[in-house]
Structure 1
Amino acid sequence: MIEEIRIENLGVIGRAHVELGPGLTVLTGETGAGKTMVLTALNLLLGGKADPATVRVGSATASVEGRVVLDPGAPALARAAEAGADLDDDGSLVLLRTVGAGSDGTTGRSRAYVGGRSVPQGLLAELADELVTVHGQADQARLRSPAVQREALDEFVGAAHRELLASYRGAWAQRARVDAELTDLVDRARDRTREAELLRLGLAEVERVDPQPDEDVTLADEVERLSHAEDLRTAAAGAHTALVGEDDGADGSAAVGTIELARRLLEHEGSHDPALAALATRIAEAGYLLADVSTDLAAYLEDLQADPLRLEAAQRRRAELGSLTRSYGSTIAEVLAWADTAGRRLLDLDGGEGRIDELREDRARLDAELGTLAEQLTSGRRAGAERLSTVVSDELAGLAMGGAELRVVVEPADEPGPHGADRVEMLLVPHAGAPARALGKGASGGELSRVMLAIEVALATAPGATRPGTFVFDEVDAGVGGRAAVEVGRRLSSLAQGSQVLVVTHLAQVAAFADRHLVVTKSTADGVDVVTESDVRLVTQEDRVRELARMLSGQEDSHAARTHAAELLELSSVGR
Structure 2
Amino acid sequence: MLVELRIRNVAVIDAVTLPLAGGLNVLTGETGAGKSLIIGALGMLLGERTAADRVRSGTEKASVEGVFDIRTQSALRRLLDERGIEADDDLLVLKREVSSAGRSRAWINGSTVTAAVLAEIGARLVSVHGQHDSRQLVDAEHQRDVLDAYVQATTVRQQVADAHARVLALRARERELEQRRQDATRRADYLRFVVREIEDVNPVLGEDEALDGDIRRLSHAEELQGLAAQAAAAISGDDRAALTQLASVRRALASLTRIDPDLERLQAGFDAAVYALDELASELEQYADTVEADPQRLRTLERRRDLLLGVLRKYGPTMEEVIATGATSRAELELVENGTLDLAAIGEARAAAEGALAEAAAELTRLRQTGALKFGRAVSQLLPELGMREGGVEVQLVPLDHVGASGAEAISFVAALNAGSERRPLSRIASGGELSRVMLALSTVLAQLQQVPTLVFDEVDAGVGGAVAWQVGALMRRVASHHQVLAISHLAQIGARAHHHIVVHKSAVGTVTTSDTTVVTDDARVVEIARMLGGDADREVSRAHARELLHRGGEDVAAAAPAEADEGAAPRRGGQRRGKPV
- d(CA) in 1 for partners of 2:400 and 2:381? 28
TM-score between the two structures when normalised by the length of structure 1: 0.75
Determine which of 520, 533, 549 is the counterpart of 1:539: 520
Higher relative contact order (CA 8 A, sep 6+): 2
Q: Shift in Å at residue 215 of structure 1?
A: 6.4
Distance 1:235 1:358, change over 3 A: same
Which residue identity lines up with residue 145 of structure 1 in the other structure? D
Of 359-368 and 347-356, the range deviating more from structure 2: 347-356
Q: Shift in Å at residue 407 of structure 1?
A: 1.3
Alignment partner of 1:205 is 2:197: yes
Match of 2:131 in 1: 137
Q: Shift in Å at residue 218 of structure 1?
A: 7.4
Distance 1:495 1:207, change over 3 A: same
- d(CA) in 2 for partners of 1:515 and 1:322? 92
Residues 254-293 of structure 1 mapped to structure 2, 5 A cutoff? none
Q: Shift in Å at residue 4 of structure 1?
A: 1.8
Q: Shift in Å at residue 227 of structure 1?
A: 5.4
- d(CA) in 2 for partners of 1:42 and 1:446? 25
Q: How many residues in Structure 1 have an aligned counterpart in Structure 2?
A: 519
Aligned-partner SS, 1:27: strand
Q: Could you list the per-position Cα deviations for residues 139-186 of structure 1 after superposition, in whole angstroms to 9, with x for gaps in the alignment? A: 11111112111111111113xx33222211111111222233333344
- d(CA) in 2 for partners of 1:218 and 1:566? 101
Match of 2:168 in 1: 176
Match of 2:159 in 1: 167
- d(CA) in 2 for partners of 1:305 and 1:525? 103
Structure with larger Rg? 1
Distance 1:539 1:22, change over 3 A: same
Q: Shift in Å at residue 426 of structure 1?
A: 1.3
Match of 2:447 in 1: 460
RMSD: 4.5
Aligned-partner SS, 1:522: strand
- d(CA) in 1 for partners of 2:199 and 2:51? 69
Match of 2:97 in 1: 97
Q: Shift in Å at residue 196 of structure 1?
A: 6.6
Aligned-partner SS, 2:160: helix
- d(CA) in 2 for partners of 1:344 and 1:79? 56
Match of 1:257 in 2: none
Match of 1:374 in 2: 361
Match of 1:451 in 2: 438
Distance 1:89 1:407, change over 3 A: closer
Gaps of 5+ in 2: 232-238, 240-281, 561-582
Match of 1:243 in 2: none
Alignment partner of 1:552 is 2:533: yes
Match of 1:9 in 2: 9
Of 319-328 and 446-455, the range deviating more from structure 2: 319-328
Which residue identity lines up with residue 424 of structure 2 in the other structure? R
1:196/1:349 contact within 8 Å kept: no
Q: Shift in Å at residue 408 of structure 1?
A: 1.4
Alignment partner of 1:477 is 2:433: no
Determine which of 101, 105, 121 is the counterpart of 1:112: 105
Q: Shift in Å at residue 374 of structure 1?
A: 2.7
Alignment partner of 1:388 is 2:395: no
Residues 70-469 of structure 1 mapped to structure 2, 5 A cutoff? 70=70, 73-74=74-75, 78=79, 82=83, 91-98=91-98, 100=100, 109-115=102-108, 116=110, 121-158=115-152, 161-189=153-181, 192=184, 200-210=192-202, 308-326=295-313, 334=320, 338=324, 341-342=327-328, 345-346=331-332, 349-350=335-336, 351-413=338-400, 415-461=402-448, 465-469=449-453
Match of 1:37 in 2: 37
Match of 1:261 in 2: none
Q: Shift in Å at residue 553 of structure 1?
A: 5.0
Percent sequence identity over aligned pairs: 36
1:63/1:97 contact within 8 Å kept: yes
Distance 1:200 1:97, change over 3 A: farther
2:7/2:16 contact within 8 Å kept: yes
Q: Shift in Å at residue 319 of structure 1?
A: 2.7
Distance 1:211 1:99, change over 3 A: closer
Match of 1:526 in 2: 510
Match of 1:103 in 2: none
- d(CA) in 2 for partners of 1:137 and 1:219? 80
Q: Could you list the per-position Cα deviations for residues 364-401 of structure 1 after superposition, in whole angstroms to 9, with x for gaps in the alignment? A: 33333333333332232122111011111112233343
1:98/1:110 contact within 8 Å kept: yes
Match of 1:62 in 2: 62
Match of 1:256 in 2: none
Q: Shift in Å at residue 471 of structure 1?
A: 0.9
- d(CA) in 2 for partners of 1:423 and 1:412? 6
- d(CA) in 2 for partners of 1:310 and 1:49? 76
- d(CA) in 2 for partners of 1:218 and 1:13? 79
Aligned-partner SS, 1:166: helix
Which residue identity lines up with residue 164 of structure 1 in the other structure? V
Which residue identity lines up with residue 531 of structure 1 in the other structure? S
Gaps of 5+ in 1: 101-107, 240-252, 254-292
Distance 1:219 1:472, change over 3 A: closer
Match of 1:495 in 2: 479
2:45/2:94 contact within 8 Å kept: no
Of 136-145 and 411-420, the range deviating more from structure 2: 411-420
- d(CA) in 2 for partners of 1:522 and 1:190? 74
- d(CA) in 2 for partners of 1:166 and 1:426? 22
Q: Could you list the per-position Cα deviations for residues 385-438 of structure 1 after superposition, in whole angstroms to 9, with x for gaps in the alignment? A: 110111111122333432221111112235432211212111222233332232
Q: Shift in Å at residue 327 of structure 1?
A: 5.0
Of 380-389 and 66-75, the range deviating more from structure 2: 66-75
Which residue identity lines up with residue 208 of structure 1 in the other structure? D
Which residue identity lines up with residue 193 of structure 2 in the other structure? L
Which residue identity lines up with residue 384 of structure 1 in the other structure? G
1:401/1:431 contact within 8 Å kept: yes
